């Protein structure tokens, strides 16, 4: 008997959990994924060891995540808009290279989980082919009409100049603000074409500086009075 089989779990709760697991066909990161894989394994007729079954799910999940339309959009968007040249980097950063750094110039990652914190911010789990980390998204980014609605599981986000925090040794997370977001590609986006890629532009997050009416009026040149009579002009000249 495997350890997970000794858990005291009601069958209805188990079925509900399995349905949620199947809803995104993913394995939860960490030890919970082992239990998830074991329960999913109950649904197949073949007697496959849990670890082997977990490896199968991981491979399917990896292939699905990094061949998705959203991921392909992000790859091609970076190329067609010359983002590597713009940010003066030779290659895009990866999540396994965060150690010892404080800021990443350019990053592409896929959202694996998300959760609102009740204060307007959002906690997300992001993944790229090299690893998985946690991140916090500031409420201004969540409220942006081109960002917040697309921050869903399976969406891909391109980040710029994002700060990295290490509250504990060996633990890292990203602090994502509005100005860090270059583009978000929804999980249900269609296949990219060259024309669509050219029409798609980075998100505008910086607003033009606001000016008061007084500031605007003070910049105007006073009008020249051309209606003065000739005699008045002559007197002025004298």
Q: What is the pairing mode between strands 131-137 and 171-176?
A: parallel
Residue 112 vs residue 238, higher pLDDT: 112
User: Could you give the number of structural domains in the chain?
Assistant: 2
How far, in Å, CA of 82 to CA of 226, rounded?
54
73 and 177 in one domain? yes
136 and 101 in one domain? yes
111 and 74 in one domain? yes
For residue range 186-219, what is the model confidence (pLDDT) as tens digits?
Answer: 999 999 999 999 999 999 876 545 555 666 566 6
Asked whether residue 225 is domain-assigned, the answer is: no
Asked whether residue 123 is domain-assigned, the answer is: yes
* Phi, psi of 178, deg, nearest 5: -55, -45
Query: pTM score > 0.85 for this model?
Result: no
How far, in Å, CA of 89 to CA of 160, rounded?
11
74 and 185 in one domain? yes
Domain range holding 16?
A: 3-65
Tokens at 13, concatenated: 């709760």
For residue range 138-180, what is the model confidence (pLDDT) as tens digits?
Answer: 999 999 999 999 999 999 999 999 999 887 777 788 999 999 9
Torsion, Cα 173 33 119 94, to 10 degrees, reads 30
């Amino acid at each position: 008997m495997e350890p997970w089989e000794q858990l005291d779990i009601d069958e209805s709760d188990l079925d509900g959990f399995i349905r949620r697991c199947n809803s995104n066909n993913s394995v939860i990161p960490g030890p919970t994924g082992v239990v998830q894989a074991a329960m999913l394994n109950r649904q197949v007729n073949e007697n496959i060891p849990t670890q082997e079954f977990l490896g199968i799910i991981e491979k399917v999940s990896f292939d699905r995540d990094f061949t998705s339309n959203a991921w392909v959009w992000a790859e091609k968007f970076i190329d067609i808009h010359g983002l590597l040249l713009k940010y003066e980097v030779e290659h895009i950063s990866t999540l396994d290279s965060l150690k010892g750094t404080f800021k990443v110039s350019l990053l592409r990652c896929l959202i694996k989980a998300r959760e609102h914190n009740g204060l307007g911010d959002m906690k997300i789990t992001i993944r790229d082919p090299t690893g998985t980390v946690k991140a916090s998204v500031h409420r201004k980014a969540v409220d942006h009409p081109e960002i917040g609605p697309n921050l869903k599981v399976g969406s891909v986000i391109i980040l710029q100049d994002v700060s990295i925090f290490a509250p504990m040794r060996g633990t890292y997370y990203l602090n994502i603000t509005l100005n860090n977001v270059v583009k978000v590609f929804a999980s249900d986006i269609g296949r990219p074409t060259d024309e669509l890629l050219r029409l798609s532009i980075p998100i505008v997050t910086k607003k033009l500086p606001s000016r008061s009416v007084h500031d605007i009026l003070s910049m105007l040149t006073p009008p020249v009075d051309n209606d003065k009579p000739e005699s008045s002009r002559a007197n002025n000249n004298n």
